[in-house]
């Protein structure tokens, strides 16, 4: 570069001097994001807390990781390549840099000669940020004349997760209304994505056969919730959200919940395990007639857990063991099918019934309980027809009484056979025919 001093008379060229200028460039590019995003709003990167190699260890806790697919490319540029001195790379403690996408070797070098650029590393999100944009990746260079140039990217390491629902859950179908499950989720830092966590529903089954809920998501307790076509919750001071998720009501119907940083399942998200509906079906009312097998009444019934696939079913009588046992004669039974035989050994006590409690565990997880009543004969009452008096042949009069047999809860017992025999009539007196 040469500079001249021009004479006032515009005649001859004046004095001149020259210098050499070096124009250099320092650039950091992460995941292909442009310069306008690098500092405001910055780059959002999710915590690497999945298990891509399926070894039950979270990926950020081990290396190398075969099949790792969550690291983001970091391209470092410096030109020209013959700059004197070194270029400095620095990064925050919430991230780690690796040489490959499978995390073979962690990068620990901070200074490089310009001739070693461009370089490509891979960014792993290692710790969740405490606040927005609290993690920085910076590449800088200071020339021999103290001229400084640098580029940086502001990073927020966030985590969106649905708590508890790591494995498939089964919930009972209620007596009325649609079954529901309380979803607990989190987003950290709490003010990421404006502090909003959006909800959407996914159907993993071929078809849900029961009745659809009026809404899939609704407010639970005093937790923040905004409904409509794009429902969302706002995080509390700890980054937590809670919402009620409503399902179809048929046994075997199921669904999954998706919590996302954007509406309609867009952006970064976490998907729950499948939530499925089951229902325990009772084949008939259970009766007890002091050990007698009464026709038209069941002293032995079947309970069936509809909606549960094959597995290990453990049934336990946890209350009322003096009133029932299972087909094996015990108050506990384990099977690989979803049905169990229940036999009566006594009667329930009035006035409420439902004093037999049977607990169901499926594949080692206690799902819930089922309440059962054992009915029995209790007493007879006259009626509903009043006694009827009438003449009886030439012998006198007869009175016909109607009795209703009732159970211990004052319900009529229809169709019970009569187990009583009256012998032949013996005429042991002479009728008076009015003759003297």
* pLDDT tens digits, 310-369: 999 999 999 999 999 999 999 999 999 999 999 999 999 998 899 999 999 999 999 999
pLDDT tens for 187-213 read: 999 999 999 999 999 888 778 889 999
The answer to whether 29 and 119 have CB atoms below 8 angstroms apart is no
Contacts of 282 (CB under 8 A, 6+ apart): 301, 302, 303, 370, 372
Contacts of 235 (CB under 8 A, 6+ apart): 186, 187, 190, 191, 195, 196, 197, 224, 241
CATH no., domain 164-278: 2.60.40
CA gap 234, 186 in Å, rounded = 10
Nearest to 281 by CA among 367, 339, 358, 347: 339
* pLDDT(392) > 80: no
The confidence score (pLDDT) of residue 214 equals 93
Contacts of 343 (CB under 8 A, 6+ apart): 299, 300, 324, 325, 326, 327
Q: DSSP string of 130-160?
A: SSTT-EEEEEEEE-TT--EEEEEEEEEEEEE
Q: At 162, is the secondary structure helix, strand, or coil?
A: strand
The answer to whether 31 and 72 have CB atoms below 8 angstroms apart is yes
Q: How far does Cα 33 stand from its chain's mean position?
A: 34
Query: Does the global pTM surpass 0.85?
Result: no
Average pLDDT value for the chain: 90
The confidence score (pLDDT) of residue 10 equals 61
Q: At 116, is the secondary structure helix, strand, or coil?
A: helix
CA gap 108, 141 in Å, rounded = 18
CATH no., domain 25-157: 2.60.40
Q: Is 279-377 in the same CATH topology as 164-278?
A: yes
- Sketch the domain layout of the chain as residue ranges: 25-157, 164-278, 279-377
Least confident of 17-31, 42-56, 59-73, 107-121: 17-31
Please give the share of the chain, as a percent, with pLDDT higher than 90.
Answer: 73
CATH no., domain 279-377: 2.60.40
């Amino acid at each position: 570069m040469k500079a001249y001093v021009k004479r006032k008379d515009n005649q001859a060229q004046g004095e001149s001097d020259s210098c050499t200028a070096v124009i250099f460039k320092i650039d950091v590019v992460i995941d292909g994001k442009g310069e306008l995003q690098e500092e405001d709003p910055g780059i959002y990167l999710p915590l690497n807390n999945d298990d891509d190699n399926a070894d039950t260890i979270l990926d950020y806790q081990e290396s190398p990781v075969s099949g790792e697919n969550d690291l983001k490319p970091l391209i470092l540029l410096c030109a020209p390549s013959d700059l004197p001195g070194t270029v400095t790379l620095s990064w925050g403690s919430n991230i780690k840099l690796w040489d490959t996408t499978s995390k073979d070797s962690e990068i620990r070098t901070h200074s490089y000669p310009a001739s070693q650029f461009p370089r490509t590393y891979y960014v792993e999100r290692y710790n969740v940020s405490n606040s927005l944009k609290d993690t920085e990746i910076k590449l800088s260079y200071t020339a021999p004349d103290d001229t400084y140039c640098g580029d940086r990217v502001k990073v927020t390491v966030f985590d969106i997760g649905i708590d508890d629902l790591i494995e498939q859950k089964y919930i009972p179908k209620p007596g009325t209304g649609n079954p529901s499950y309380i979803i607990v989720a989190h987003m950290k830092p709490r003010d990421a994505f404006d502090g909003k966590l959006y909800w959407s529903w996914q159907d993993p089954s071929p078809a849900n056969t029961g009745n659809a809920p009026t809404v899939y998501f609704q407010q639970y307790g005093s937790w923040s919730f905004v409904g409509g076509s794009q429902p969302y919750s706002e995080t509390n001071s700890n980054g937590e959200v809670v919402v009620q998720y409503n399902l179809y009501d048929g046994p075997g119907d199921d669904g999954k919940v998706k919590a996302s940083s954007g509406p309609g399942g867009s952006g970064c998200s976490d998907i729950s395990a499948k939530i499925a509906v089951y229902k325990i079906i009772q084949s008939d009312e259970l009766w007890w007639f002091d050990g007698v097998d009464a026709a038209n009444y069941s002293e032995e019934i079947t309970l069936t857990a509809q909606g549960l696939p094959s597995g290990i079913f453990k049934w336990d009588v946890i209350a009322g063991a003096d009133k029932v046992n299972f087909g094996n004669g015990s108050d506990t039974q384990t099977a690989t099918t979803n049905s169990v035989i229940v036999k009566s050994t006594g009667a329930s006590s009035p006035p409420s019934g439902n004093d037999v409690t049977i607990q169901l565990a499926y594949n080692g997880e206690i799902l819930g309980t089922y309440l059962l009543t054992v009915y029995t004969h209790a007493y007879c009452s006259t009626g509903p027809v009043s006694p009827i008096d009438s003449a009886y042949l030439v012998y006198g009069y007869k009175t016909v009484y109607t009795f209703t047999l009732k159970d211990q809860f004052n319900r009529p017992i229809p169709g019970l056979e009569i187990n009583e025999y009256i012998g032949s009539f013996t005429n042991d007196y002479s009728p008076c025919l009015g003759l003297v």
